[in-house]
Amino acid sequence: MAWDESGESSAMRVRIMIAAVAAALLFLGGALWRIQVLGARLYMSSLEQQSMRRVRLPGARGRILDRNGVCLADNRPCYCVAVYVEELRRPGGWQNTVDAVEKVVASAAEVLGLKVEISRGDIERHVSKRLALPFIAWRDIDEKAISRWAESGADLPGVDIAIEPVRVYPRGSLAAHALGYVGKADPKQDLEEPYHFYLPEMEGARGVEAVMNHVLTGIPGGRLLRVDASGFKHERVGERPPEAGRDVTLALDTRIQTLVEQNLAGVEGAAVILDPSNGDVLALASSPTFDPNVFSPGVARATWRGLVADKSQPLVNRAVAELYPPGSTFKMIVVLAAVSSGRAGPETVFDCPGYFALGSTRFRCWRPGGHGQIAMVEALEQSCNSYFCQLGLRCGHERIVEMAGAMGLGRRTGIELASEVDGILPGDRWKRERFRDAWRPGDTCNLSIGQGFLAATPLQMAVGTAAIGNGGRVYRPRLVLRGDSPAGETVNVLKCSAEALRTARQGMYEVVNAPRGTGKRARVDGLAMAAKTGTAEFGPRDRRRKHTWMLAFAPFEHPRVALAMVVEEGESGGLTVAPRVRRIMAGIFGIAIDEAADGEEGA
């Protein structure tokens, strides 16, 4: 009986064990069925998400062209060896990842036949920042290296050839201050389709590149890659090609721009040439200049420090961002104000003994012996300081300031360059606010000869010159041409009499064409030109220095160009600038000239 009970008990335990195992197997089978069948879509989606990589592709930047279609800024492909660090990350600390990257770079160097150019420190900085962009081990590799990569069928984890668009300026430093340059952009993440990697993009940093960045910038595309567990072996699943940005056409004429820059080479200064009929900027130059190619795709630290530390300030656009006293080039404005107000006329005569005495102060004329009795047109031709001190006092500074303001001095012209400055157009109110002092007759004398507090940019003086040349219409200078704006924007029409304009123009004509004109070194046989020289003193009295000017327009009757040029620390407008203007004007109008020039020095 005992045996029967024991045997029955053992049999029961076996049946219970079999039932438990069967239940466990049934539960496991059910769980596997739920995972593999019911949850297949969910887990497959998760797997796909983990093995997919979205790469943002930059759109090519639009070109910048001159008015004749000459390309001034373009793009070229830069082939780079990119290491996608995220695909090489290793557990156990970021140093393990650095080791992995260093190893794969060494392997790539063997395949490509290149020397390793990056250090472990470079890798550490990139790995520690966890940047979304790939780590560039080599940039701008040559065709030989690309061929080696293609022939070897290189299958290195986390390594690929990336094409980076690079901004290029085919004509080097030509028009660099107008064009500007680009820098690297940090693209914004797409919240709907976030990307894992992006290639570097460019954005305008200065000049037209910056102001027209919204037009030049392309629309980025994307690439979807499938990544397997071994690293960065992948297949391209899908791609949305990027779209190029739109081209921008400038009013600049490359031929004229080249002439201007050639004649500024070796000096510090600036020049602007406008079309008086519509305000188009045909040339805008600043010297010394720089090569914008050094900023693309990124400027080296040593290069940047050198440019910033250079005392000649090559990065400063002197044409729009530097202020100069205009000196005697301001005298036409005094003529316009005096004649239009009826305070004087072309027949008005003053005596010049070589200076003008105002109390105990003497305003010296450039000719020590004086000009004697002199009328208005000849006073412009000879740039007589004594005459204009007296004319300014008779006219009154308020009328002079009003006329200068109408011509655009004291405020930005509105050109499409963010670096433009206002300038200084002083008057009684300005002086009271600035110095808490009243305007005095000596201030009027200084203003009348373009000295004292007065300061303008070369662009502002070019705008005024164009207005005198075209009969009194002040245009906003136009650097960027737009299809919907075939003509320039008129800012103002000068409220000056026909006699005033005729007198100012005739005086400028005599400056170049009279036997003793201060600007006769600018004369070009066969071209009727009008001009005005200027020599503006600045600095401490015991160490006075000079900025030298010339304004000009040609042809005289129907001007096609208006020019303003300043050369820092020259001898005089007649000696330093006039010969340069002569070469530029002869080149523009295709007239052969003898490089030898003679004549007397003038203000």
C-alpha span between 411 and 182 (Å, rounded): 28
| Dihedral sign computed on CA atoms, order 438, 443, 447, 450 | negative
Sheet order of strands, 197-198 included: 197-198, 52-57, 221-227, 234-240
Location of structure tokens 């002197």: 318
Q: What's phi and psi for 350, nearest 5 deg?
A: -130, 160
Tokens matching residue 347:
């027949």
- The single residue listed with the structure tokens 């412009």 is 380
Query: 293, 294, 287, 296: which is closest to 315 by C-alpha?
Result: 287
What does R_g of the chain's alpha carbons equal in angstroms? Answer: 37
Beta bridge partners of 566: 270, 549
Q: Which residue has the tokens 């160490």?
A: 543
Measured distance CA(271)–CA(584) in Å, rounded: 11
Nearest to 280 by CA among 317, 247, 253, 320: 253
CB hemisphere CA count around 269 (13 angstroms): 26
The H-assigned helical ranges of 130-216 are: 143-152, 176-179, 207-211, 213-216
DSSP single-letter state for residue 574 = I
Dig out the tokens for 230 from the structure: 């071994």
3-state secondary structure of 257: helix
Phi, psi at residue 76, to the nearest 5°? -140, 150
Q: What is the rounded distance in angstroms from the CA atom of residue 592 to the CA atom of residue 555?
A: 16
Contact between residue 526 and residue 498 where contact means Cβ atoms under 8 Å apart: no
Sequential DSSP letters for 204-238: E-SHHHHHTHHHHPPBPEEEEEEE-TTSS-EEEEE
Residues near 126 by beta carbon (within 8 Å), at least 6 away in sequence: 85, 135
Residue 415, CA distances (Å) to 129, 418, 421, 481, 489 in order? 41, 8, 11, 12, 11
Cα(193)–Cα(231) distance, rounded to whole angstroms? 23
Number of other residues whose CB lies within 10 A of the CB of residue 162: 21
542 and 567 in contact (C-beta within 8 Å)?
A: no
Q: Cβ atoms within 10 A of the Cβ of 349, count?
A: 14
* Positions marked catalytic: 328
**What does the DSSP 8-state code read for residue 350?**
E
Structure tokens at 416: 């499409």
Helices (H) and strands (E) in the chain, counts: 20, 23
